[in-house]
Structure 1
């Protein structure tokens, strides 16, 4: 586990987002020997070494007594996760942004400065309980600009107010609307992708399966550490249950909030490892984080798609933790990982000769 931490870094938990952001950027800009001295001895689990910047950031959060992600009352947890995303995300450039009504589902369209007619429909993470358009503002801007594609971020309904399959239905409805109104979005129907992280990866994967079953056009799916196992039985769920940002307790809370009935947790639209894979499923890129409770199930889903004949690329960011996609504005390793996602997305939506 992580090295022993001193009792407290006074007052850090209460400072504003700009000050927290400056403190984090300053910490991660330290030379590696200084960063190692702050972070402590290397953390090695399952023959993987935790990224030094990640370890230092986790130590900083522990010293500041930051509440665990998703902890506390729902409204407080939602506000906190959005504020923390701004801390790590920074202010990223974009050509333009506008609100969209995606067939009754709120959404936000990001158009890069170097525009194209390729479009990614993005479903945010947050355990089906937290997360919103603002939480993923920086992520969507970076993917749009670096991949050179339009990004439509979908604001689906959240639990516990709206339980399964509300989020799934919203995401599928939004995608159907995108296909029908691609021209209004400046998109080519032959260059559409779905993507998301964590719970959003689960939702994106479900949309991809449903799109294939319905014969809807879909060129690519970008699944970032997706949740795919409704049974929660993987080895990584136990191995990384404590100490690496996403905890087992909070993951259990998220699952229970969205799928309160046991039969819902086993439904193939939620428990994707039990889903049938129809013909024509779009090529997929699936990435996982080495120190993430969801690691093994994401990789198992890649194997499932490959076994069904789907074109799949699987990549593990072995030193990273759950949530790295939000680290677009601090340090080096997080932004580099997101830049890799943008590179993959660009290739996945490249014009076909």
Structure 2
């Protein structure tokens, strides 16, 4: 019996090494990045209270009931917003158009919301999609991709791919080729955004003119230092996922494979693990105090090494995806001003190349 246990353990270790073989990316942690000097504004205190309320939404509940409470709370975040944008529902693909007054329908943004692939919706992220439509003078399509656990992870991926393919040739007014395309997303949606760029490249489709990712999840292997080092300083993700720091990583990998039906080392689930060459200009915004900051840093460093124009802008002491707290939070408005400048820059370069 003893030797049988030893053999089983040996085979399990060998299978783990084979299934979850991964490149050691710790060398990417040596890059230096500038962090904005200004600390959190006074309004950040209110944001922290809102995050506590979000955490309490499912208090005392378990399983599906807790998840539903979280989904309901996230959707309610848009209830108090005074939006000037027009909201138009779409059924095929599923989602909604968010269109600021005067926005050009041939200028389009695909927005992919976050929520750990299990929560969130176009409605929950209207504070972001509304601002993007205004600053980009574009029609924003927020895709309502299928969520786990009711659906498979790859179902959501396919929904995002379908939405992008459709958006190239279709706007809110019907069939019409897009003159400008941007892909944006936050957290889990940021992962889908970055993974989508690679899929577009491999598929030979018209590539996006640019991309924006807010605090993206880039690597489900959770090997980046901040995944554990920043648990105490991340008021949103820390309470939700901090307990994973006590779980051996191979156990997390097996659990991820079981839940996602995709290996955590797959570039589809972990864009950092794939080729980052020949990607469009990409802006990543992240906070230095959140758990995912090193995931973003590693992605930016690898993309730079492989020749893609990816830039990382880091704020000090902000909560995960603080942009969703616009217009309450001044730092959120700063982030959108940063995005507006980024869009102007990529458009200027695009126009120069067309003239040349």
TM-score by length of 2: 0.75
Quote the residue 2:320 is aligned against: 322
Counterpart check, 1:118 vs 2:107 = yes
Counterpart check, 1:78 vs 2:71 = yes
Pick aligned residue for 2:231 from 233, 241, 244: 241
Which runs of 5 or more residues in structure 2 are unaligned?
Answer: 1-34, 245-251
Q: Which stretch shifts more, 328-337 or 134-143?
A: 328-337
Pick aligned residue for 2:188 from 163, 187, 199: 199
- Aligned-residue Cα RMSD (Å) equals 3.1
Quote the residue 2:82 is aligned against: 91
CA apart distance, 1:149: 1.6
Post-superposition Cα deviations, 1:181-204, rounded to whole Å, max 9, x if no partner, equal 359557653411111011111001
CA distance in 2, matches of 1:53, 1:229: 33
Change over 3 Å in CA distance of 1:349–1:53 after alignment to 2: farther
SS of residue matched to 2:284? strand
Q: Determine which structure has more spread, i.e. the larger CA radius of gyration.
A: 2
CA apart distance, 1:344: 2.3
Contact kept, 8 Å, 1:69 with 1:77, in 2: the verdict is: yes
CA apart distance, 1:264: 2.3
CA distance in 2, matches of 1:184, 1:133: 19
Quote the residue 1:165 is aligned against: 154
Quote the residue 2:94 is aligned against: 106
SS of residue matched to 1:298? helix
The 5-angstrom pairing of residues 299-318 of structure 1 reads: 299-318=297-316
Number of equivalenced pairs: 301
CA distance in 1, matches of 2:269, 2:57: 22
CA apart distance, 1:65: 6.1
The 5-angstrom pairing of residues 55-66 of structure 1 reads: 55-57=44-46, 60-61=49-50
SS of residue matched to 1:143? helix
Contact kept, 8 Å, 1:49 with 1:319, in 2: the verdict is: no
CA distance in 2, matches of 1:341, 1:69: 32
Change over 3 Å in CA distance of 1:50–1:264 after alignment to 2: farther
The 5-angstrom pairing of residues 1-353 of structure 1 reads: 50-53=39-42, 55-57=44-46, 60-61=49-50, 67=55, 72=61, 73-86=66-79, 90-94=81-85, 96-101=86-91, 104-116=92-104, 117-182=106-171, 184=173, 188-217=177-206, 218-248=208-238, 250-251=240-241, 260=259, 264-277=263-276, 280-349=278-347, 352-353=351-352
Contact kept, 8 Å, 1:220 with 1:349, in 2: the verdict is: no
CA distance in 2, matches of 1:132, 1:195: 14
CA apart distance, 1:50: 4.9
Contact kept, 8 Å, 1:172 with 1:207, in 2: the verdict is: yes
TM-score by length of 1: 0.75
CA apart distance, 1:258: 8.9
Change over 3 Å in CA distance of 1:257–1:129 after alignment to 2: farther
CA distance in 1, matches of 2:73, 2:184: 24
Contact kept, 8 Å, 2:107 with 2:180, in 1: the verdict is: yes
CA distance in 2, matches of 1:264, 1:251: 19
CA distance in 1, matches of 2:172, 2:69: 39
